[in-house]
Amino acid sequence: MDKIFGRHFESLVDIEELNRSYVLLAQRLLYEDWATGMASLGVGSKEAAGILATLTPEQATKLSRCGQLVCRFGLEAHAVLSALATQANRQSSDAGAPGCTSGPASGSSKKVVALQALQPSA
């Protein structure tokens, strides 16, 4: 019983840490560039983005401890995974290094357009 409780407790701690990191990242991205932040985070409404952006540290901590993930992972669709894998392979062969690249060469406006195209239609 202690092993089960211990693993459950560790999972809750991991969820809290992930939630806290997500909220801090969300706030930073939205502060830096509202539209790009919304697209990068996959936040579908300005209201939800506004709530994330204006959480106080106390509210962020409380939200982080809710026991459920507050973010969703957007790599569910096969098309998205295929496109990202193809892009990563192309970039690694061009740059000679594995993984995604970032920075001015990647073009943030292209990222926003690509992210918007990958969003499910309402």
pTM of the model as a whole = 0.58
Task: Specify the amino acid at residue 44.
Answer: G
Q: What is the pLDDT along the chain (122 residues), one digit of tens a residue?
A: 566 667 777 889 999 999 999 999 999 999 999 999 998 888 888 999 999 999 999 999 999 999 999 987 766 556 777 777 888 888 777 655 444 444 433 444 444 444 444 444 44
Please state, in angstroms and rounded to a whole number, the distance separating the CA atoms of residues 15 and 19: 6
Q: Assign domain 1-72 to its CATH architecture.
A: Orthogonal Bundle (1.10)
Rg of the Cα trace of the chain?
Answer: 17
What pLDDT is attached to residue 120?
Answer: 45
Q: With contact defined as beta carbons under 8 Å apart, do 19 and 69 qualify?
A: yes
What pLDDT is attached to residue 77?
Answer: 59
What pLDDT is attached to residue 5?
Answer: 60
Hey, where are the domains in the chain?
Answer: 1-72, 75-122
What pLDDT is attached to residue 49?
Answer: 93
